[in-house]
Amino acid sequence: MNYEGYIRQSLYLRELPAYQADIPIIHKLFCEMNQSAAYLHAFPNLNMETPITIVDKELMK
């Protein structure tokens, strides 16, 4: 099933309107979410590490 049909069917099953202009935007959001999930699977402990911040003393003046 193509992504447009899948999105339309998903919206229909949730009794939400499916506007033609919204379909590509929803598809892009799904792609972004899948890409982010893939990064989390590749680096599961990424958010567990505290970043190191080095501040230049001259910037603090």
C-beta separation of 23 from 8 below 8 A: yes
Please give the tally of structural domains in the chain: 1
- Residue 41 confidence class, pLDDT cut points 50, 70, 90: confident
Give residue 20's domain range: 3-48
Sign (positive or negative) of CA dihedral 38, 43, 49, 52? negative
- What's the pTM? 0.61
Q: Give the tens place of pLDDT for each residue, 46-58.
A: 777 777 787 777 7
Looking at the domain assignment, is residue 61 inside a domain? no
Looking at the domain assignment, is residue 58 inside a domain? no
3-state secondary structure string, 20-36? Answer: HHHHHHHHHHHHHHHHH
Q: Give the tens place of pLDDT for each residue, 1-10.
A: 588 899 999 9
Instruction: State mean pLDDT over 35-40.
Output: 86
For 50, phi then psi, to 5°, come to -85, 125
Looking at the domain assignment, is residue 12 inside a domain? yes
